[in-house]
Structure 1
Amino acid sequence: MGTVSGRASPPTDRVVRILDFLAGHPRDRFGVSELARRVELSKPTCLGIVTALTEAGYLVRDPGDKTYRLGPSLITLGHRAQESMRVSPAARDQLRLLSSRFGATAALSAVIDDRITLLDLAAPPGARPGVEVGQSYPFAPPVGLMFVLWDDEAEREWLRKPPTIPLRTDSERLKRVVACCRADGYLVERQTPGGRRLYSLMAGMPTDLPDELRALLGELVSDIGERVYLRDENTGRRRHDISVISAPVFDHYRRQVMVASMQVGKPLTDNEITERARAVVATADAVTRQLGGSAPER
């Protein structure tokens, strides 16, 4: 997470620890004794906090076994947080339409406190997306290319960040990727199974990974832009293993504020890639209009 200035508040810390723990176990219930042990608080302190949170509706207490779980007030709080980040019900409808059309997971994400955070998603019935709303990733190379493609200065600042893993950067290749993506209005990423696992492993990780782990992850991802699919490099009928297709959402200053994306995770032909990419762009453009925004010239 981003660095926050100011003095720490131990009492607030304790409340956050309890809520974070329960959020990590949404299907489980915990008695005060176990909860206190799991979050390393004294039982009286824990009891006082969960009692106050229950009275406010942030937790629910089962009168039978006297266990606690997350409460309904957090639903309202979550919706308000999404609205503050410009994720409206209309935007969610756009994600559902995209997800339903292709039977794939569609999502909106943004850079918040220097981390890429998943703001909302829609998945096919019964699907397990493997990611959750609120999940975040370090915004540092190689993760986050889609958030800087339309802003030269943002791209330079991103490239100056210490990479999360060792990388080789082919400047000419990256320039070509940027030019093609700006012309097309979308980014298509190809990844190996190992590369796909990297993103799930990085969820919640800090950017300052141990050197040994960084070297290991570096074996999965090499050059920025190397995994990008470009139309004019890939003609013919053969299929391409596609991971994700993304398109930018802009505000009224024509600044990129979010990314709409569709998880693919399977081989597609060139025509299938183009069809899905255009649908993702249409979704991103619809969200842009809902924000009163407009895209820069492509």
Structure 2
Amino acid sequence: MKNLIPILLSACVAISACSNKKEKNTSIDKTVTIDSIQKASPIASKKMITDAYFKANGVEPFWNLTISDNMIKLKTLNGLDSILTPHVQPIYAQDSNVKMYNLQTELAEVRIQISQMECINAMSGKSFPYSVTVKYKKGKETEFTTLEGCGQYITNYRLHDIWALEELNGSKVAKEDFGKELPYIEINAAKNTFMGTSGCNRITGKLFSERERIRFINIASTEMLCTKGNKKEQEFTKALESTISYTIGNNRLTFLNPDKTLLVFKKVD
């Protein structure tokens, strides 16, 4: 019995130490920084920054920026220095298409300005629709480092399909309403273009897309005179031109302005 008592006391001490160690680990987990998450779990970090809806880059020095619904990642020279922060909603400047992101963590402060204006990449000569300015400082730095470059929004890949019209301005439609066939559009998300028919005439054009926003621009149409459905065609084209946003769900693509439902398309298998 005397020999058993020291063994029991040792076991109790060990259990208590494990318990205290577990509590300390739990406390540490609550204060883990974003950078340490990235180093400890690259797979989890990768999931946070996929599906970027905006990308930008610059040269002299080389850098790139990705913005997704979850994360904003800035990678600087040689990819050795990167800043990863949670996503925040941008601030919109008045009377101009300028968005500003103000980001701050324990490790860094980042300010991003995205302006809608043509931007030419200094190395490739390629034209981009947005000019981007990034200012950042890390740790105890007192001055911001400024980066200049170009960027573009990435059109939602889920738009890339053939869509047949189902509703127009709140009313169900049928082929007979347009005389020849039911309107449809085929969207090429990679090229930001579309083609299709307004019921009788063929239509083509380009897309302007910013995240959940979308505009159909440079719409061109043939000029066939159909015996029936011309008014519906005009109504359809006007609704397409008036679209400013969209939603996707249940194999349906809905166009709105701003909250009014203009068009509802069904995905064509």
Q: Shared fold by TM > 0.5?
A: no
The structure with the larger Rg is 2
Structure with the larger helix share: 1
Structure with the larger strand share: 2
